[in-house]
Amino acid sequence: MNTKLLNSIFFKIKNLGFLIIVVLFTFSGLNVCGQNLKSNYKRERIKLNEGWHFMLYDANPDNLIYDVRPKIEAENDSKVADSKPTEAVKVETKEDVLKNWILPSANDFIKDPSNKHIRPEGNPGADFPFVKADFKDDAWEKVTLPHDWAITKPFYVGDNPEVGGGMGRLPSQGVAWYRKKLDIATTDKGKIIYLDVDGAMSYAIVWLNGHLVGGWPYGYNSFRLDLTPFLNYGGPNQLSIRIDNPNHSARWYPGGGIYRNVWLTKTAPVHVAQWGTFITTPEISVNEASINLSLKLENKTTSTQTVQARTQIYALDDFGKAKGKAIADFPSETINLNPDEKQVKESKIKLKKPKLWGAYPSQKQNLYLARTRLYIDGKQIDEYDTPFGIRKIEFHPIQGLLVNDAKIKIQGVNQHHDLGALGAAFNVRAAQRQLEMLRELGCNAIRLSHNPPAPELLDLTDRMGFLVIDEIFDSWERKKTPHDFHLIFPDWHEPDTRSFIRRDRNHPSVIAWSFGNEVGEQYTDAAGATIAQKLHDIVHEEDPTRLASASQNYAKPDMPFSKVMDFMSLNYQGEGIRDAPAYLHLKGGIRTSPLYPAFQKAFPDKMIVSSETASALSTRGSYIFPVTAENSAPVSDGVGANPLTKEVSAYELYTAQFGASPDKVFATQDRHPYVAGEFVWTGWDYLGEPTPYYSARSSYSGIIDLAGFKKDRFYLYQSRWRPNLPIAHILPHWNWPNRVGEITPVHVFTSGDEAELFLNGQSLGRKKKVELESRIRWDDVKYQAGELKVVAYKNSKIWAEETVKTTDKATKLVVMVDRPEIKSDGEDLAFITVKITDKNGLMVPNANSKIRFSIEGSGEIVATDNGDPANLVSFTSHEREAYNGMALVIVRSNKRSKGTITLVATSDGLEKTVLKIKNN
């Protein structure tokens, strides 16, 4: 409401007495802005991704900083990942930082009222040009969110780069501004208008019309700010967001910028609070499920409001839409809300014949929707939807994970947040592609390492039936890198944890919480356990229905840290760290024998799961000789790796110093059947942390490479995780003109129990799988060009076959697209695989020709890649060398521009190819 008008009203009635003032504010249900709550409202959620202006400082950024940070004298980003975290460096906070103005943004997530923050007087930054409406930003770059400012830039090359391999050699560091005009209609007067940011990396600070609104430092959490007090109605509003992403802030590629969706949410002054519903299903049977609803309402008026709340349940279809009529109603509630009050109401119902949510592929992914409507005097003022699933989760110490009373072996992977050549900027189709390939692998579980995901990712895991361990922190008070989360842990661990849980707790795919990964507090005895207990208790205050843990790579069964955990979440300790013969020469780091039995003995009532296993390393299609005779060996220059090309052997036997091959992991888990399963490090390669070569850009640990191409390891896991799928996979390829007559070992991954290998029609022997071994090896094969063929058997019957041939020379390009038709929404993507083949259509596995791409029609090339971790060509390049016969092109649709997209691929000496994609 106009301030002058409000003052005028009070002036005119001040002599009429207090009673008239009360009547004025209660008779028609007016809020402080004068909006009549009897009128109809419709909650609006508007995506704000378009029309942003962006500027990244070259140097000399402004002084509008959240807080001072410690100076870095020297930092080795290539240190072994299990190096001991160290104590924080203390720095003195200056009075002119903005921290005290930002901290109140956390108040809704601080339990103890005495710990809530009081905003100081003043309006820092009000005179800074970028927050003013009249500042001319026409010369700034025009961007659409989600936006990662670093992913399109050149890689840092050479020794001692500003950003090292640990953070992906991309310029994600720096300070940037985003500006956008908001038009708020006069009809929005009286509504509460929020800015909802799904993720901004990092130290986001927000101004509206020159007023400092608030912010959120942790780049992975979603947050909300109330814009209402600072809005201009009937005209433009200037939104300005400052992002500050420090170097040496992560052990992987963080991305830079507003890299997830941003929303404008408009509600009535009385409404369902942010993430204000929590649905639990404490009792489930075939015939009936009890469903409990916790509903938090918020009254942002100056008068008491009497609200009726009605929640109905609907079944959801495969597209997440409510189908048909409501199938159940919670009891209607009448709630009296005092001014500026939040209040929680609990209700429950019984649902007959519930359809359960469960893990793919053995169970169905049935989903429901709880639709809450609020009324005042019979008029609807709010509507809030909560998707949920009905399922029973049990962590059993002997049987492992039970989902709806059925044992589900965890066949999981760890996933970082980046999307390869697309960087940190979230895209639903890119994430869906990753999950589709993991499902093909036989993966049924994801551990989100080591931070909250984009909200849409959990929508996908709900629909696709993945089990999720949702994780919040990689560090607490002790640091792994100089500028990581430890700098803000004291102030933000509680609000970050509470907001994380509230956002994600209605997702049925989330089966457990992880509140830490390999934190340094494992080393600090009772002091570390005290911090762990505090975080553990916060998690359970927000969600008492799920178990919570922190992943341990150091803490042993007799340490106080371990006793805090609801279940044992072990990183590498189960199969042992640096304990196998090939690892004994390694210096430093953690060394421990296999600890499954010790943990099981110490905690007989707690489930054990390996939250990180393997950390096997390889580059797709690269084979290095000789091959180790061990079933697991650490990689080093000349031993499973080539330091000149920065390649690691794809025989899938070599690992990080602290790791173990899949073969060793499988055997150890088979020896200890009470272990619930594993989360492999990692499902896909990811940007940053390029062990063992930190002059590279991306990891070597994925089962699938950064471009989305399957490594040989894919078939090793698939043969174990999908035992009923006929699989026979031969490695290596058979193009070795310089190895004629030399020993070239042949390994076979199969879901069968024995196999016979043939070279040019001559049998090289029929072998059975040995107990506790996962591959069949012919280690004395001498290379001769021609044809390798394997016939796999199961129960003495032919099960699967595969043939690998020496190819002719490369002659042409072949392209394949993941989908022939995409949506014209400006967000949908087509992933196009390019292969170099011979005249017979066989991929030439050692072809690395440069390929040029051009495009016409209603789409654009957004990135190219080839899966080579050492390739430092910009992802935006339209020229890309194939890597071991393959390359990738990612094409994005143009918005509101239907038609045909034509991609042309050419290469010197090769027959060009043309691909057409429909953009509808």
Instruction: List, by residue number, the catalytic residues.
Output: 518, 612
Q: What is the per-residue burial (b if ≥16 Cβ within 10 Å, else e) of 623-635?
A: bbeebbebbbbbb
Residue with tokens 């938090």: 296
User: How many helices (DSSP H) and strands (DSSP E) are in the chain?
Assistant: 11, 49
Helix (H, G, I), strand (E, B) or coil at 210: coil
Maximum Cα–Cα distance for the chain, whole Å? 109
Which string of DSSP letters, residue by residue, matches 433-476?
A: HHHHHHHHHT--EEEE-SS---HHHHHHHHHHT-EEEEE--S-S
For residue 138, what is the enclosing H or E element?
Answer: none
User: Distance between CA atoms of 260 and 392, rounded to whole angstroms?
Assistant: 32
Rounded-to-10 torsion of CA 459, 463, 469, 473: -10
CA geometry: angle at 725 spanning 886 and 715, to 5°? 35
Under 8 Å between Cβ of 245 and 262: no
- Give the helix ranges, DSSP H, for 543-681: 560-563, 596-602, 662-671
For residue 537, what is the enclosing H or E element?
Answer: helix 525-542
Q: Within its chain, how far is the Cα of 516 from the centroid? A: 15
Question: Exposed/middle/buried for 331, CB within 10 Å: 0-12, 13-18, 19+?
Answer: exposed
- Name the amino acid, one letter, at 284: I
Under 8 Å between Cβ of 461 and 509: yes
Question: Exposed/middle/buried for 549, CB within 10 Å: 0-12, 13-18, 19+?
Answer: buried
Expressed in percent and rounded to 5, the helix, strand and coil fractions of the chain are: 15, 35, 45
Under 8 Å between Cβ of 41 and 191: yes
User: Distance between CA atoms of 144 and 142, rounded to whole angstroms?
Assistant: 7
Q: SS3 for 852-918, per residue? A: EEEEEECEEEEEEECCCCCCCCCCCCCEEECECCEEEEEEEECCCCCEEEEEEEEECCEEEEEEEEE
Which string of DSSP letters, residue by residue, matches 239-276?
A: EEEEEEE-TT--SS----B--S-EEEEEE-SEEEEEEE
Under 8 Å between Cβ of 176 and 141: no
Q: Which residues is 47 bridged to in the sheet?
A: 263
Rounded-to-10 torsion of CA 9, 12, 13, 15: 150
User: Distance between CA atoms of 221 and 240, rounded to whole angstroms?
Assistant: 19
Q: What is the DSSP letter of 131?
A: G
